[in-house]
């Protein structure tokens, strides 16, 4: 039903913009400022531009073809917006770091409405700076190191359930549940099970509607998501009220948000707190789940590498009384090979393929004009897969991170500048802990031979990497496990 409505609305919109194309062209001809010219490239059809080309093929091919034809800066139109795409480290640094004040973060209004307009990554300036410091302090190494025993508990519970089911599971879907549980832990600490269940139920509805067509027609995924988002606010309000009544002083993210006061003694409103909690959950879940799924895929496809990772992790296990003790922060910092596998998985998969910014004034870059209001997209994926910076970029090779660090601005898996992901240390810690327990106590087999990448919107192995898991102790002989 929803798909039919989407197609019908899309056709109507396309036809209406097609009829107005002569007027759009007349307006466009008069556009020039100074001596600067627009970057090369094709804007495609009226309004829809090259959206269909982008979403009907592998984005790797789309972006690379553009770069080969036009160079490292080119224009296009995506989702109704004129865009300038930038595929060089220098350009990414220009937009995200040195001249970040000329470009603001931008998201479709429907996305802001779903997460909440007060979420920190929709903002610039003092408000963003204050909120970012709060989030960073709650997700700093000193804070998250205390979460290791609980993250281990969540990881082992998930792995045990997959193995006990003896069923093929969608790895990406299961990793989303795992990263959601860790996200709840980092935000609320030990949350009452009733609250957690309500949050998860409504968050799933919001998550499903987040990338759907933004129509408010009752029954549509987007409309259901908006209703669930309102319920999330109510649930978070109850949690906040309970914590205030009990006068609990916690050092989790909620505690940091509740205890914040600015220079004038102003505290955050409940809406501001709720929007930033939902924002952190969104930022943490899909991206972390995606990279862990890719790690399993790459290890499965490289048996010798998997054995080397097992050797490293079993040594850690033995030093912890044969696995009876908890991992320590120092041990997670000393997983040398596993950490390189993590970094190479981030590079290969490029979970964040690009980011959106919007020019707040007319900007000139390398002789080209970036008009005010145009979207600007630094292409992390193109940079990560450029043979100039990474030899044989399509080859999975963790050893490339063994010696010298990548050149500046060539490896940006968590973004760059003031809007870089503040939770990157937690994401890496989650991955390392889960991999430790997976390779030391379990085995897994990828089911089916289907290869490729699917985007929704983050890249994951085709089909979410269907896999079957076994407890290693339940394999009396080598032939009974993959």
Q: Which two tokens stand for residue 124?
A: 């610039």
For residue 147, give the nearest of 339, 327, 313 by alpha carbon: 327
Strand partners, 76: 83
Was 421 annotated as part of a binding site?
A: yes
Query: Which residues have a Cβ under 8 Å from the Cβ of 408 and sit 6 or more positions away?
Result: 89, 93
Strand partners, 443: 470
For residue 342, give the nearest of 431, 273, 257 by alpha carbon: 431
Alpha helices in 74-189 (DSSP H): 89-93, 109-115, 125-138, 141-144, 148-165, 171-188
Cβ contact 241:198 at 8 Å: no
Cβ contact 355:380 at 8 Å: yes
Phi, psi of 84 (to 5 degrees): -115, 125
How far does CA 51 lie from the centroid of its chain? 21
Strand partners, 369: 364
Distance, in Å, from the CA atom of 426 to the CA atom of 437, rounded to the nearest integer, reads 17
Q: Which two tokens stand for residue 106?
A: 């931008």
Radius of gyration of the chain from its Cα atoms, rounded to whole angstroms? 24
Neighbours of 427 (CB within 10 A): 25
Cβ contact 356:73 at 8 Å: no
Helix or strand run (H / E) with residue 25: helix 21-29
Distance, in Å, from the CA atom of 328 to the CA atom of 194, rounded to the nearest integer, reads 31
Is the bond preceding 457 in cis, omega lying within 30 degrees of 0? yes
Q: Which two tokens stand for residue 370?
A: 């970036």
Annotated binding residues: 421
Annotated binding residues for heme: 421
């Amino acid at each position: 039903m929803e798909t039919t409505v989407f197609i019908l609305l899309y056709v109507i919109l396309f036809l209406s913009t097609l009829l107005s194309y002569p007027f759009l062209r007349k307006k466009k001809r008069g556009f020039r400022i100074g001596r600067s010219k627009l970057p090369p490239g094709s804007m495609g059809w009226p309004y829809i531009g090259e959206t269909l080309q982008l979403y009907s093929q592998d984005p790797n091919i789309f972006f690379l073809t553009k770069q080969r034809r036009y160079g490292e800066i080119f224009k296009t139109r995506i989702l109704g917006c004129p865009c300038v795409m930038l595929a060089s480290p220098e350009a990414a640094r220009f937009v995200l770091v040195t001249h970040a004040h000329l470009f603001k973060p931008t998201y479709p209004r429907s996305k802001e409405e779903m997460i909440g307009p007060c979420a920190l990554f929709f903002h610039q300036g003092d408000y963003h700076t204050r909120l970012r410091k709060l989030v960073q302090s709650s997700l700093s190494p000193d804070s998250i190191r205390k979460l290791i025993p609980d993250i281990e508990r969540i990881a082992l519970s998930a792995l045990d359930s997959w193995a006990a089911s003896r069923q093929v599971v969608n790895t990406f879907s299961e990793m989303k549940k795992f990263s959601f549980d860790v996200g709840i832990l980092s935000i609320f600490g030990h949350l009452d099970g009733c609250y957690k269940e309500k949050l998860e139920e409504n968050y799933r509805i919001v998550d499903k509607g987040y990338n759907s067509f933004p129509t408010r027609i009752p029954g549509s995924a987007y409309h259901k998501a908006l209703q669930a988002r309102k319920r999330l606010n109510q649930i978070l309000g109850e949690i906040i009220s309970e914590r205030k009544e009990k006068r609990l002083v916690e050092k989790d993210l909620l505690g940091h948000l509740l205890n914040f006061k600015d220079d004038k003694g102003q505290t955050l409103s409940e809406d501001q707190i709720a929007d930033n909690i939902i924002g952190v959950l969104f930022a943490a879940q899909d991206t972390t789940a995606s990279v862990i799924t890719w790690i399993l895929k790459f290890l499965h496809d490289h048996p010798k590498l998997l054995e080397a990772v097992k050797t490293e992790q079993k040594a850690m296990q033995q030093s912890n009384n044969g696995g009876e003790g908890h991992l320590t922060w120092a041990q997670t910092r000393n997983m040398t090979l596993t950490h390189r596998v993590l970094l190479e998985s981030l590079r290969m998969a490029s979970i964040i393929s690009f980011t959106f910014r919007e020019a707040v004034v007319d900007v000139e870059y390398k002789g080209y004009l970036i008009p005010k209001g145009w979207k600007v997209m630094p292409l992390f994926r193109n940079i990560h897969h450029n043979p100039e910076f990474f030899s044989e970029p399509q080859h999975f090779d963790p050893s490339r991170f063994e010696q010298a660090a990548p050149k500046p601005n060539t490896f940006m898996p968590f973004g760059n500048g003031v809007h870089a992901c503040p939770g990157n240390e937690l994401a890496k810690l989650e991955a390392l802990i889960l991999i430790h327990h997976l390779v030391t106590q379990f085995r897994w087999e990828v089911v089916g031979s289907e290869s490729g990448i699917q985007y929704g919107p983050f890249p994951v192995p085709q089909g979410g990497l269907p896999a079957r898991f076994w407890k290693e102790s339940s394999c009396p002989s080598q032939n009974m496990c993959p």
